């Protein structure tokens, strides 16, 4: 057992920076309490992570596992940002090829706990080595809860065979809620739910890891979504522990996070957003990502004359910008966002009202939860094809930021500031989590 009750924890997140960044944030909070963290990824990913402060360098050990060669995966592609959407399957193949190197590493490091999300094979491996394992979800409890018990995630359900089936509130949700996926969103993520051919679906990965791990840790808190956390505890016969919302603790490191956002509008969507901003008459600062990464050849462009017509009240930034510092500025009244949870946490810790336009994955459920709690307003769109108009964008912005009718969103966002930005509350959740880990590790003596 580690000396002085200190823990040795291995972290192995999926190869996407939208996963790795919040995992690193949790690692930093744990390391600040004197525990040893072994943060495991591939060499290029480790090299691209935000640099650690000197006081944490002795407690967080970055461990590089060489990336296995997989046919059809470009050279030096080690994260989702390096590849096209169609190539992600090959990245998952490479990720799953790390089982033997991971086994050897765990034997060498001998941690008390190892955490994962996508490595569905890791809990079984950990058990063989007498290491406790955990599933850490960067997704909210609502996202996990919507997709049901691990048996449904792994084997499916007779009632869930088409995208249309996923637009109905699932039968295991027995409390009143309006949270449900729209048809266009269900169609976008259906392959992640079902997989295709030899591809293990993302839902299967989550289900298998949850089924075989010892504890489920969730980036959430009881103060925000108690009904969903209680549902998770009912669905999975093991401890479900919220670790807090992980508000940013380090401006310099966190400034990098939005560089890794993988949400990008189509050219048609971009046109409607731009014309909507123009129609609204409101001042704006727009951080526009024209391509997702080096593998993205589909460059999007602003409508002709847009920047000239909005000059003096709008700024378009097409390179990296410090999202956290921008949101912290007193002149910012609201945040037009895709509702990825890291961005939501950043906005709400400063009490910024949310205007939401989802693009992919968990964002659709996050958005519905925020809407239900009157923390965010969804831009109206066609539920079948997801289309929306510039008028809808303009009217939504004015509603949330200016109109009396939208005051409830502004007030609720300010109310959330005390919840999402509360360091003492975050410390309580983290300490509760660490007490569980200390109490339930294997005795290695």
Please say whether the beta carbons of 362 and 140 come within 8 A.
yes
- The tokens of 213 are what? 């791990």
At 198 the pLDDT is: 63
What average pLDDT does the chain have? 92
Res. 258 pLDDT band, cuts 50 70 90: very low
DSSP helix, strand, coil percent of the chain (3-state; round to 5): 45, 10, 40
Residue ranges of the chain that CATH labels 3.40.50.2000? 3-247+422-439, 257-420
Phi and psi at 360, nearest 5°, equal: -165, 160
* Per-residue CA distances from 211 to 124, 207, 208, 257, 259 (Å): 10, 6, 5, 30, 33
What CATH number was assigned to the domain covering residues 3-247+422-439? 3.40.50.2000
List, for residues 314-325, the tens digit of each pLDDT value: 999 888 788 889
Query: Cα–Cα distance between 319 and 16 in angstroms, integer?
Result: 20
Q: Tokens 């075989």 belong to which residue?
A: 212
CATH class held by domain 257-420: alpha beta
Query: Which sign, positive or negative, has the C-alpha torsion 45, 14, 133, 439?
Result: positive
pLDDT recorded at residue 254: 41
Three-state DSSP at 63 gives strand
445 vs 265: which has the higher pLDDT: 265
pLDDT value for 299:
84
Q: Name the strand (E) or helix (H) holding 384.
A: none
Number of H helices, E strands in the chain: 19, 12
Laid out side by side, the sheet with 334-337 consists of 334-337, 353-356, 376-378
DSSP-assigned states of every residue in 389-402: -HHHHHHHHHHHHT
Element (H, E) at 354: strand 353-356
Task: Look up the pTM and report it.
Answer: 0.94
Residue 298 banded pLDDT, cuts 50, 70, 90:
confident
Tell me the C-alpha distance between 345 and 258, whole Å. 12
Taking alpha carbons only, the member of 408, 403, 424, 350 closest to residue 376 is 408
Which of 362, 299, 365, 388 lies closest to 18, judged by CA? 362
- The residue-averaged pLDDT of 200-223 equals 96
Q: What confidence score (pLDDT) does residue 76 get? A: 92
**Is the model more confident about 75 or about 290?**
75
Quick: pLDDT tens for 324-367.
Answer: 899 999 999 999 999 999 999 999 999 999 999 999 889 999 99
* Per-residue pLDDT reduced to its tens digit, 371-396: 999 999 999 999 999 999 999 999 99
Calculate mean pLDDT across residues 203-231. Answer: 97
Q: What is the dihedral of CA 192, 185, 275, 305, to 10 degrees?
A: 20
> Is the pLDDT assigned to residue 4 strictly greater than 70?
no
> Average pLDDT, stretch 137-154?
96
């Amino acid at each position: 057992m580690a000396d002085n009750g200190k823990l040795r924890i291995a972290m192995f997140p999926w190869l996407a920076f939208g996963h790795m960044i919040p995992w690193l944030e949790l690692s930093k909070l744990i390391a600040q309490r004197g525990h040893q963290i072994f943060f495991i990824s591939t060499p290029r990913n480790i090299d691209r992570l935000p640099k650690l402060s000197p006081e944490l360098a002795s407690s967080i050990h970055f461990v590089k596992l060489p990336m296995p060669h997989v046919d059809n995966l470009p050279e030096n592609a080690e994260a989702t940002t390096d590849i096209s959407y169609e190539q992600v399957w090959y990245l998952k193949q490479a990720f799953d090829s790390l089982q033997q190197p991971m086994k050897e590493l765990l034997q060498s490091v001998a941690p008390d706990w190892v955490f994962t999300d996508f490595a569905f094979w890791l809990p079984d491996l950990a058990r063989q080595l007498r290491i406790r394992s955990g599933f850490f979800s960067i997704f909210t409890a609502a996202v996990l809860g919507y997709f049901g018990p691990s048996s449904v995630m792994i084997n499916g359900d007779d009632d869930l065979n088409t995208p249309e089936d996923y637009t109905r509130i699932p039968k295991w949700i027995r409390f009143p809620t309006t949270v449900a996926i729209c048809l266009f969103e269900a169609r976008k993520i259906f392959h992640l739910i079902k997989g295709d051919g030899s591809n293990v679906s993302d839902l299967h990965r989550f289900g298998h890891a949850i089924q075989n791990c010892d504890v489920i840790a969730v980036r959430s808190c009881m103060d925000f979504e108690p009904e969903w956390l209680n549902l998770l505890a009912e669905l999975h016969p093991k401890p479900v522990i919220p670790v807090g919302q992980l508000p940013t603790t380090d401006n310099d490191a966190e400034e990098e996070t939005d560089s890794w956002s993988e949400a990008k509008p189509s050219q048609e969507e971009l046109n409607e957003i731009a014309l909507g901003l123009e129609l609204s008459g409101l001042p704006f600062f727009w951080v526009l990502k024209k391509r997702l990464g080096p593998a993205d050849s589909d460059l999007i462009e602003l409508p002709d004359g847009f920047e000239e017509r909005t000059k003096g009240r709008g700024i378009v930034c097409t390179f990296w910008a410090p999202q956290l510092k921008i949101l912290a500025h007193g002149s910012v009244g609201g945040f037009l966002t895709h509702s990825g949870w890291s961005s939501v946490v950043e906005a709400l810790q400063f009490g910024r009202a949310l205007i939401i336009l989802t693009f992919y994955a968990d964002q659709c459920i996050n958005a519905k939860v925020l809407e239900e709690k009157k923390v965010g307003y969804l831009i109206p769109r066609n539920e079948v094809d997801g289309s929306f108009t510039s008028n809808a964008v303009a009217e939504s912005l004015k509603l949330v930021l200016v109109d009396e009718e939208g005051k409830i969103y502004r007030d609720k966002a300010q109310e959330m500031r005390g919840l999402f930005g509360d360091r003492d509350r975050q410390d309580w959740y983290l300490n509760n989590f660490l007490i569980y880990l200390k109490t339930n590790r294997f005795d290695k003596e």
